[in-house]
Structure 1
Amino acid sequence: MLRNPLFLVLTLFLTWFIFTFLLMPNFAILRSVFVSPEGGLTFRSVERLLSSERAVDALRNSFVLAVVLSVTVNIVGIFIVLVTRFYDIKGGRILWLGYATTLIYGGVVLVAGYKTVYGPNGVITQVIGSVMPGIDPQWFSGMLAVIFVMTISSTGYHLLFMSAAIARVDYQTVEAARMMGGSDWAVLRRVVLPMLKPIIFAITILTFLAGLAALAAPQILGGGEFQTITPMILAFANSPTSRDLAATLAIILGISTIALLALMNRFEKGGVYFSVSKVPVALQKQKIQNRTANIVVHVVAYALFLIYVLPPALIVLFSFTDSRSINSGTISLDSFTLENYINVLTEERGYRPFLVSIGYGAVTAVVVIVLMLFTARMIQRYRNKLTIVMEYLLHIPWILPTTMIALGLILTFDHAQPLVGGQVLTGTVGILAIAYVIVKIPFTFRLLKAAFAGVPDNVEDAAAILGAGSMYTFRRVLVPLVLPAAAAITALNFNSLLDDYDTAVFLSHPIYQPLGVVIRNATTGDQINDTTALTFVYTVLLMIISTFTMWLVYGRKSSSDRANKRARKAAARSQDPASTSTVEPADKAPVRNDSLP
């Protein structure tokens, strides 16, 4: 590896990058908590934290939220997958489209949308107020509101991953259980769900971590009585005298994340999950035999459909109205206007946040994919102690919460650092881009490494036999083979950063604020103004971009898979003797050879 100049330069760059941006920030957090100004060991920050009632309540609320979401998200997520992929429910495809709305908008955008519907000026609140005049306009706040919104917004993993897993359930096994007298509930509990345990474990881990590090929902909907760790870290980080408390909370959050990952991995390895059928048959949708249960499932499925669809539908409608119509919750033909879209697309104050988010997303997506293309190839090609250590270190952002990464960068680069040319990065435009690159490294690296591992070795050997150099082979042979995967990863990275709030709220420049921060600021008060109307336009544009990205990554692949499936069926029918006539013409009859045994 060291004989290759390109990989030598890449090794030196990665060593500098990992130490500067992945290790030093974590050392800075530990130093701010456990090292006194005199240089000695201290636990003063821990004592201050434990003596703060607000901080202790935030810790408790975060763990309660994470545990509750692990249950509620799985209940709702498994249900919507079953009614769209396993059971024969009327309008199943329409239901899936409604449930999939959380895939095209999320984070602070989704929370702001639900506040628009259920908040003090929301349509639902006004409808309830007309029936119950004494209702508190702030009824949709606190712990229950946070749980409700995060439960709905966190079921995307089920739609993407559990839908694929349930499609692999063997139909013969399900039918065998039914023939043995198993009821709908028995088949589901004893046959189907056990086969889905691995993906349920994985989704539970992701859900727990999301609840533990939640920021947008508790900050916008939690109110004064329900705050969690991450909003408290943000509050402490904004004050230089309280950054040690923010660092202490971030360490607790990081330790909890690592401990949970280790615990859940151990639980997952404790079982073996497989189908007992030697010749698996594609799953067919099941009819619910019990009539009462069938009616109840249909009612619940369509009630959830309305909950999922109502916020994005109203966002689209209100994006064409003025603040007066939004505030009153009424829509008429006279209130429709294109002024909001004209302001966003033509005025600087309108399109500036959108361009800032696009710029950050595009730069980050390109930098990460280029860097990880070379890195994944080097680590996959040269396996030694150095590359193994690098591979483990590149996964640091995956096991640490975003809040801890952002706070570490603030503490590390709020003064001149020799490793970055003596520059102060905190408060600059570049530090947010660096944070975005750090956060996206593990995801990009893992998928690209898997893509390179899928390239046959004989392809590279053939290029070498033909006299191609290593760089030429990489550029003209390997990269084109992994380019589809790289393009999909780039699109997903770009899409996920457009409405980012958790990282931007810590590190964004006050003049160049991305969309996530702008949308959050628009939801700060209970009064609706013209800025609120513009956020609906931003949300609609984000949903359009997200929909296109999802189609680009998943839709074209699904179309290709369906085409290949139809081709295989056609080929099978053409080769199936049963599909042809069993009577042959006399002149085409086969000649019988009686001499053969």
Structure 2
Amino acid sequence: MIKHKKLNIWTVSAIIIFITYLLFLVYPIITVLSQSMIEDGHFSLTQFKTFFSKKYYFSTLVNSFKVSLTATFFSLIIGTLLAYLFNMYHFKGKKVLQIFIIIASMSAPFVGAYSWILLLGRNGVITKFLMNVLHFPQVDIYGFFGIVLVFTLQLFPLVFLYVNGAFKSIDQSVLEAAESMGCRGINRVFKVVLPLLTPTLLAAALLVFMRAFSDFGTPMLIGEGYRTFPVLIYTQFISEVGGNAAFASSLAVIAIIIALTIFLVQKAIARQYSFSMNSLHPIVAKKPTGGKKVGIYATVYGIIFLSVLPQMYLIYTSFLKTSGMVFVPGYSLDSYRNAFDRMGSAIFNTIRIPLMALVVVVILAIFISYLTVRKPNFFTNVIDSLSMIPYIVPGTVLGIAFITSFNTGIGGSGFLAITGTVGIMVISLSVRRLPYTIRSSVASLQQVSPSIEEAAESLGSSKMNTFFKITVPMMMSGIISGAILSWITMISELSTSILLYNIRTRTMTVAIYTEVIRGNYGIAAALSTILTVITVLSLLLFMKVSGSDDISL
């Protein structure tokens, strides 16, 4: 009888969620780990020795660290600078510029790489202008420089969104006190502002680094001879499907170890700098004058123009006529007609599959956040920790883990054979993008006092009625914020989908990537434009529903 009383809806939901994570996260990762270390039924580290003993393989890991650290460094500088200018000064066009920043951050990174090839590639429009008109030497966009450029312009908006939110917690009186003590200008930035932003900068740095480290589409398109670790994982797995899948699994395990190590180091450092801020008097933005005004406008508009230039040019090329692989003079809607004729199912899948995943994400996030905040214990803490694993593990690695665990082919276990189905696509998107909505929902729920729920129950409301009619509505702002971020990252997802899709479940990002590889640039540009339109409409809908024109993380 006692056991029956304990088995309430929260216990049941915790058990169901835990089993779900065991099946679709823990089991795939353990399967990959097993495949990398078991050879002919015996424990073996041969695959790892192969990786570390051959310079060709190990150099890809070094290259990934180089581009990821460099891109993180520049993203932190640019993102923090923009957030500082946005919060400290008044200038025209802030709302529109913020939408542009978000658009730049939410598109698939490889789309930016493709766009920069059109602009600064060997036959790019800017390259031709610089060489033919200004007689500059040819710009080399490929390799290390190109990858860092694309990553930086793609990822600095994430830093901006984090830091922009942190600035709202800084009290104006702190800055005034520093100024009264003679700490002004750049000195105040380094001695007061940046120390206050340190926890936020550490969180942003982790996200930017992991996004850069795990992306394979950008270096695949623009890297040429500069091979990175995610590219190696992808190419080895694709080429090894018919042979030895153990090596690809060993690469996946190395990626998981690196990701977890970096995450734990970041958490340890962040814990030392952790503190809370309450802003009773928000920062008052000043009106710049003279040379400072010119400098601010040039900096803000210049950086944001560069970040959206690739997409603007991509939209322009989508209306150009094409002849085979070449854009020709004149305008046409043929690229859009061909896109809908040949890729109509991909466009439909880009809406359908993420929508199904979003429903799963919202439901799970609501229950997990409530369990974490209101029912804290060892079991719910384990669930919360499991939910963060996909946040740091590269998408390519999870894709390999899903194929290894849920595939009947060579290298697959055959258990629950769902690879290539809508089900596995929904599951992969849900697992990967769930952390965004969970974290946002947790933050929102922590601001809801338990006394409100207790008051409702004292007036005769049942626990479930209180939860659904009072608690969930009060969490809604956090749920919506997390859901929109999950949604936008779902529709731009490539690294996992490229491994799991088949012709019936192909999405727009997969279609864009394959069309670029095939040289069908007109169709790729049209699909990229459609994806951008969906992203913009999603953001506008979010602003409408939330009643806010300011987005921060």
TM-score, with length taken from structure 1: 0.81
Aligned partners of 1:538 and 1:358: how far apart in 2?
13
Contact 2:109 2:151 in 1 (8 A): no
Contact 1:121 1:328 in 2 (8 A): no
Contact 1:504 1:517 in 2 (8 A): yes
**Which of 473, 476, 496 in structure 2 is aligned with 1:480?**
473
Per the alignment, do residues 74 and 12 of structure 1 end up closer, same or farther by CA in structure 2, a change over 3 Å counting?
closer
> Which stretch of structure 1 is more off in the superposition, 19-28 or 262-271?
262-271
- 1:205 alignment counterpart: 206
Deviations 1:471-530 (A, max 9, x none): 3443344333334433443333222211211111121124421111111112225x4x4x
Structure 1 residue 373: Cα displacement = 2.6
- 1:236 alignment counterpart: 236
Deviations 1:430-473 (A, max 9, x none): 22222112112333333334444444334433443454444344
Structure 1 residue 301: Cα displacement = 4.2
**Which of 229, 254, 257 in structure 2 is aligned with 1:255?**
257
Aligned partners of 1:325 and 1:295: how far apart in 2?
45
Per the alignment, do residues 95 and 436 of structure 1 end up closer, same or farther by CA in structure 2, a change over 3 Å counting?
closer
Aligned partners of 1:258 and 1:72: how far apart in 2?
23
After superposition, where does 1:77-156 map in structure 2 within 5 Å? Answer: 77-87=79-89, 96=98, 98-131=100-133, 139-156=140-157
Per the alignment, do residues 93 and 372 of structure 1 end up closer, same or farther by CA in structure 2, a change over 3 Å counting?
closer
The one-letter amino acid paired with 2:264 is: A
- 2:386 alignment counterpart: 393
Structure 1 residue 216: Cα displacement = 1.6
**Which of 348, 353, 357 in structure 2 is aligned with 1:355?**
348
Structure 1 residue 126: Cα displacement = 2.2
After superposition, where does 1:326-345 map in structure 2 within 5 Å? Answer: 327-328=326-327, 335-345=330-340
Structure 1 residue 73: Cα displacement = 1.1
Contact 1:368 1:440 in 2 (8 A): yes
TM-score, with length taken from structure 2: 0.87
Contact 2:114 2:222 in 1 (8 A): no
Deviations 1:370-419 (A, max 9, x none): 23333433454434433333333333323422222221111122249xxx
Aligned partners of 1:22 and 1:366: how far apart in 2?
19
The one-letter amino acid paired with 1:441 is: L
User: Secondary structure in 2 aligned to 1:501?
Assistant: coil
Per the alignment, do residues 151 and 51 of structure 1 end up closer, same or farther by CA in structure 2, a change over 3 Å counting?
same
Contact 2:105 2:155 in 1 (8 A): no
* 1:430 maps onto 2:423 in alignment: yes
Contact 1:61 1:226 in 2 (8 A): yes
- 2:23 alignment counterpart: 20
- 1:540 alignment counterpart: 529
Aligned partners of 2:171 and 2:425: how far apart in 1?
47
After superposition, where does 1:285-434 map in structure 2 within 5 Å? Answer: 285=286, 287=288, 291=291, 299-324=298-323, 327-328=326-327, 335-345=330-340, 347=341, 349-415=342-408, 423-434=416-427
* 1:157 maps onto 2:150 in alignment: no
Per the alignment, do residues 297 and 492 of structure 1 end up closer, same or farther by CA in structure 2, a change over 3 Å counting?
closer
Aligned partners of 1:281 and 1:367: how far apart in 2?
37
Contact 1:73 1:151 in 2 (8 A): yes
Aligned partners of 1:445 and 1:461: how far apart in 2?
23
Q: Decide which structure has the larger Cα Rg and report it.
A: 1
- 2:196 alignment counterpart: 195
Contact 2:368 2:383 in 1 (8 A): no
Deviations 1:104-149 (A, max 9, x none): 5242333322222222343212212323779558x22101000011
Contact 1:101 1:308 in 2 (8 A): no
Per the alignment, do residues 555 and 200 of structure 1 end up closer, same or farther by CA in structure 2, a change over 3 Å counting?
farther
- 2:65 alignment counterpart: 63
**Which of 507, 511, 523 in structure 1 is aligned with 2:500?**
507
Per the alignment, do residues 387 and 295 of structure 1 end up closer, same or farther by CA in structure 2, a change over 3 Å counting?
closer
The one-letter amino acid paired with 1:236 is: Q
Contact 2:168 2:279 in 1 (8 A): no
- Name structure 1 gaps, 5 residues minimum: 563-597
Per the alignment, do residues 474 and 49 of structure 1 end up closer, same or farther by CA in structure 2, a change over 3 Å counting?
same
Deviations 1:66-103 (A, max 9, x none): 22122111122222223333246676666555544414
Per the alignment, do residues 415 and 177 of structure 1 end up closer, same or farther by CA in structure 2, a change over 3 Å counting?
same
Aligned partners of 1:128 and 1:278: how far apart in 2?
49
Per the alignment, do residues 13 and 421 of structure 1 end up closer, same or farther by CA in structure 2, a change over 3 Å counting?
farther
The one-letter amino acid paired with 1:547 is: V
- 2:542 alignment counterpart: 553
> Which stretch of structure 1 is more off in the superposition, 499-508 or 89-98?
89-98
- 1:48 alignment counterpart: 50
Per the alignment, do residues 281 and 431 of structure 1 end up closer, same or farther by CA in structure 2, a change over 3 Å counting?
closer
After superposition, where does 1:575-590 map in structure 2 within 5 Å? Answer: none
Contact 2:108 2:493 in 1 (8 A): no
The one-letter amino acid paired with 1:244 is: A
User: Secondary structure in 2 aligned to 1:154?
Assistant: helix
- 2:220 alignment counterpart: 219
* 1:496 maps onto 2:495 in alignment: no
Aligned partners of 1:86 and 1:303: how far apart in 2?
18
Aligned partners of 1:165 and 1:226: how far apart in 2?
36
Aligned partners of 1:176 and 1:379: how far apart in 2?
39
Aligned partners of 1:170 and 1:468: how far apart in 2?
40
Structure 1 residue 19: Cα displacement = 1.9
Structure 1 residue 8: Cα displacement = 5.2
Q: CA RMSD in A?
A: 3.3
Per the alignment, do residues 373 and 203 of structure 1 end up closer, same or farther by CA in structure 2, a change over 3 Å counting?
closer
Aligned partners of 1:245 and 1:110: how far apart in 2?
31
User: Secondary structure in 2 aligned to 1:226?
Assistant: coil
Aligned partners of 2:113 and 2:328: how far apart in 1?
18
- 1:578 alignment counterpart: none
